[in-house]
Structure 1
Amino acid sequence: MSNHLSIAIKVRESLQADCQNCFGLCCTALNIVASSDFAINKPAGKPCPNLQQNYHCRIHSELRDTGFKGCTVFDCLGAGQQVSQITFKGQDWRQSRAHAEKMFQVFPIMEQLYEMIAYLAEALSYQVDHALYQQLLAQLEELQQLIEHDAATLLALDIIAIRMPVNALLLQTSEQIRLKGKAAKKLNQRGADWMGKNLKGKDLRATDLRGSYLIAANLQNANLQEVDFIGADLRDANLRGADLSTSMFLTQMQINAAQGDRFTKLPSYLKRPAHWH
């Protein structure tokens, strides 16, 4: 196994949420707006009424049936336990109210850092040129150092400024992988509004679908290899039988929000959602 691939795999495997070592931050720190995904309105910093004293969810096995589908979609990639156990050294926000507000503010920042780390780790798994590989690796190492900082340093970060060079490198990665021998103009569907569109069985290989709207789109049996999915909205998209085995920058949250089956081919680092069965 090549060195760049082993680094990528090691990082990706470490990006797993461990709810047992988190103090219910996704159930408390985030703002929730009542919708088809959430049955209630909940302001940031207020615990969900279903969150118990032991930080377990009272309706965990019934979330989708009780109007909390969005909870089954969410994936912090491990940002929750990083904030709980590393940044705040295991201090429970219920018992350390002085730290509660800062903890709730740090969590969404950490979540974004983890998301960027995941994207960079994936980019490092591809066969890009040496110069780009070195830039990706340097950027990854910088982010891995940032997540170890204290709360005050994390709260002072300019996330937009951090995202800019990361995004530029991910774009270069996407172009190097997708556009080998292909016409870039034909494959550029960035930001496309394909909500509800019937794309059943279509060959969409290497298409740039960054930021596209694919809500309830029919992508059944479509070929989605090398498709760039950064920021694409896949809520209720039909991915049954679709080939996403080599799709680029696809997240667990996007997959969790979509519909699929046992014939859907996923990248190795993503899990088949339980509700697909």
Structure 2
Amino acid sequence: MPIPTSPALPVLPVLQADCGNCFALCCVALPFAKSTDFAVNKSAGTPCKNLQQDFRCGIHTRLRDKGFQGCTVFDCFGAGQQVSQVTFGGRDWRAHPETRAQMFEAFPVMRQLHELLFYVAEALTLPAAAPVHPALRTALTRTEALTRADAKALTSLDVGALRQEINPLLLKASELVRAKVPGRRKNHRGADLMGAHLSGADLRGANLRGAYLIAADLSGADLRGADLIGADFRDTNLRGADLRDTLFLTQPQLNAAQGTPTTRIPPSLTHPTHWHPTNP
């Protein structure tokens, strides 16, 4: 996504994964349970059985075929390379086993910080949200500074409290933008819409924050201007849907959904490979 630039703003870390500069932290630090998303159980801090010595995945091109769909959905927002190369200065957990515990504990904290940066940076690109931009700039600067903290500071950080401070700013930005969307705007915040039939629905400017849209049919729906922060798109049918100009849509949300190359999405995001007919 485009990151706002200004002499008054900090230079932000890259907010998308760069696996080549990460020590496979998502494959080690995080746990997963055997399910439709993962073929096996894995505890936190234990390397995935598919992880190779060079920190690459041995089945990367066959993850979905092998039952690891969850891996294709996950995105660290660039937290992996930040922890690997900045927090720990390029010392990997295999060559420096003394870093393991703190590195694996710091990674999920950093991911949350990067996700917050992603949302705040997007809000700062929205002209209609100008009244809340000063407070957002302060939040951006503070959060960016936290991403440069040492491992001890990161692991003791109360990210939940930080989210509670920033979320009202993001909500206000959303309200200011959606107020300019014509027509009656639907409020489905936190709604249980699992399996809902919403094909062709007019959801322009809707509030879908935290909505459960698992396996819902949104084919052909118009979601322009909708607030999608935290919406659960697992197996959501987005074929033919229009998601241009949506608010706070992330790549992991798209990765979790079903769509086609004709599904319209923001230019800062990409169509997942499994949306192409030649890919399962």
Question: TM-score, normalization: structure 1?
Answer: 0.93
Measure, in 2, the Cα distance between the counterparts of 1:146 and 1:152. Answer: 12
CA deviation string 1:231-274 (max 9, x = no partner):
11100101011000111111100000001111111111111101
Instruction: State whether structure 2 residue 47 is matched by structure 1 residue 19.
Output: no
Correspondence for 1:230: 229
CA-based RMSD: 1.8
Task: State the partner residue of 1:134.
Answer: 134
Cα displacement string for residues 184-227 of structure 1 (whole angstroms, at most 9, x for unaligned residues): 8x521111111111111111101101111101111111000011
Q: Deviations along 1:99-119, whole A, 9 cap, x unmatched?
A: 101000000000000000000
Residue of structure 1 in register with 2:153 after alignment: 153
- Separation (CA, whole Å) in 2 of partners of 1:124 and 1:189: 24
Match of 2:256 in 1: 257
Q: 2:186: which partner in 1?
A: 187
Question: Taking structure 1 as reference, are residues 11 and 180 closer, same or farther at Cα in structure 2, changes over 3 Å only?
Answer: farther
Deviation readout 1:47-71 (Å, 9 max, x if unpaired) = 0000001001011110000100010
> Contact 1:11 / 1:121 at 8 angstroms: preserved in 2?
no
In structure 2, C-alpha distance between the alignment counterparts of 1:197 and 1:129, rounded to whole Å: 31
Identify the residue that residue 204 of structure 2 maps to in structure 1. Answer: 205
Match of 1:46 in 2: 46
Gapped runs of 5+ residues in structure 2? none
More helix by share: 1
Pairing 1:77-226 to 2, within 5 Å after superposition? 77-180=77-180, 187-226=186-225
* 2:85 alignment partner, SS class: helix
Q: Secondary structure at the match of 1:128?
A: helix
In structure 2, what is the Cα distance between the partners aligned to 1:250 and 1:12?
19
User: How many equivalent pairs are there?
Assistant: 271
Offset at residue 5 of structure 1 (A): 4.9
Superposed CA deviations along residues 157-180 of structure 1, whole A, max 9, x for unmatched, are 111111111101000011001123
Amino acid aligned to 1:198: H
Structure 1 runs not aligned, ≥5 long: none
The SS at the match of 2:143 is: helix
Equivalent residue for 2:268?
Answer: 269
1:237 to 1:12, Cα distance in 2 relative to 1, 3 A: farther
**Distance in 2, Cα, partners of 1:141 & 1:83:** 19
Q: Following the alignment from structure 1 to structure 2, what is the Cα–Cα distance between the partners of residues 13 and 162?
A: 18
Q: Aligned pair in 2 of structure 1 residues 262, 159: CA closer, same or farther (>3 Å)?
A: same
What TM-score does the superposition give when structure 2 sets the normalisation length?
Answer: 0.93
